[in-house]
A = this chain, B = another copy of it.
Amino acid sequence: MTTSTIAGRVFERLLDDLKSNQFGPGERLKFEEMRGRYDVGVAPLREALSRLAGLGLVTQVGQKGFRAPEASLKDYEHIIASRKFLEKRALESAIANGGDSWENELVAMFHQLQKATRIKPRTEQEYSVWERHHTNFHRALVAACGSAWLLNAWRSAFDQAERYRRLAMKRGHWAIDQKDDHERLLRAAIARDSKVALRILDDHIGRSAINLG
């Protein structure tokens, strides 16, 4: 889904690069470098960075430019807790409200995730592909929650968590689909077993927090 504006495209690329930690925590994002890297002018760059600043994925200080956000264990714990909190609530609603199309999308996304999981990703790019499927599956889970605002907030927490997860991965921690969590989540969701689904999700998200410790 390529956007029609340059600013939109560079936004997407920046989002990817931030989530995959192409820029270290706190690193300054200089315009001349970025201009070369993405081959765009300053105007769309600043727009993309401003939008990311609104999302909390870069920080901006007046007259001092943009930076990749700092990273700390405390911050990570808070983000994990928030994601857990939001995703559980959204999942509960989705299980209550979801219809046939929700189920269909869910099994489709699970299928793609499973295909991607079979081959252990080796390069950063391969891992990006896996993360996309992983995100798609979790989004499909909560998509039917009915609240656009909740979905946005969840997505924000999920993106920030992904950044930390991949920081951990760079240090050798692998956390790909432990204990068949995703398959169990799928089954419980389709069976409309809210209690079981929430418990699995809680463990699933909680476990990812340990990997950075």
**Which residues of A are in contact with B by a Cβ distance under 8 Å?**
3-5, 7-8, 43, 46-48, 50-56, 62-63, 75, 78-79, 81-82, 85, 89, 146-150, 152-153, 156-157, 160
Cα–Cα distance between A43 and B45 once the two chains are bound (Å): 11
Cα–Cα distance between A148 and B147 once the two chains are bound (Å): 23
Chain B nearest CB, measured from A54 CB (Å):
2
A146 surroundings in chain B (CB, below 8 A):
78
List 18 additional contacts besides A43-B46, A50-B54, A51-B54; criterion CB under 8 Å. A4-B63, A5-B62, A46-B47, A47-B50, A50-B50, A51-B51, A51-B53, A53-B54, A56-B149, A56-B152, A78-B146, A78-B147, A78-B148, A82-B147, A82-B150, A82-B153, A149-B157, A153-B157
Q: Which of B8, B56, B150 contacts A78 (CB 8 A)?
A: B150
Given A51-B51, A62-B3, A85-B89, the answer on whether A153 and B156 have CB atoms closer than 8 Å is: yes
How many chain copies does the complex carry?
A: 2
12 CB-based A-B contacts, threshold 8 Å: A4-B63, A5-B62, A8-B62, A50-B50, A51-B51, A54-B54, A55-B55, A56-B152, A75-B148, A78-B147, A78-B148, A149-B157
Chain B nearest CB, measured from A156 CB (Å):
7
* Residue of chain B at shortest CB distance from A89: B85
A148 surroundings in chain B (CB, below 8 A):
75, 78
Cα–Cα distance between A157 and B148 once the two chains are bound (Å): 12
Chain B nearest CB, measured from A69 CB (Å):
10
Chain B nearest CB, measured from A78 CB (Å):
4
Chain B nearest CB, measured from A81 CB (Å):
7
A50 surroundings in chain B (CB, below 8 A):
7, 47-48, 50-51, 54
Chain B nearest CB, measured from A119 CB (Å):
33
Cα–Cα distance between A78 and B55 once the two chains are bound (Å): 20
A55 surroundings in chain B (CB, below 8 A):
54-55
A52 surroundings in chain B (CB, below 8 A):
54
A149 surroundings in chain B (CB, below 8 A):
56, 75, 78-79, 82, 157, 160
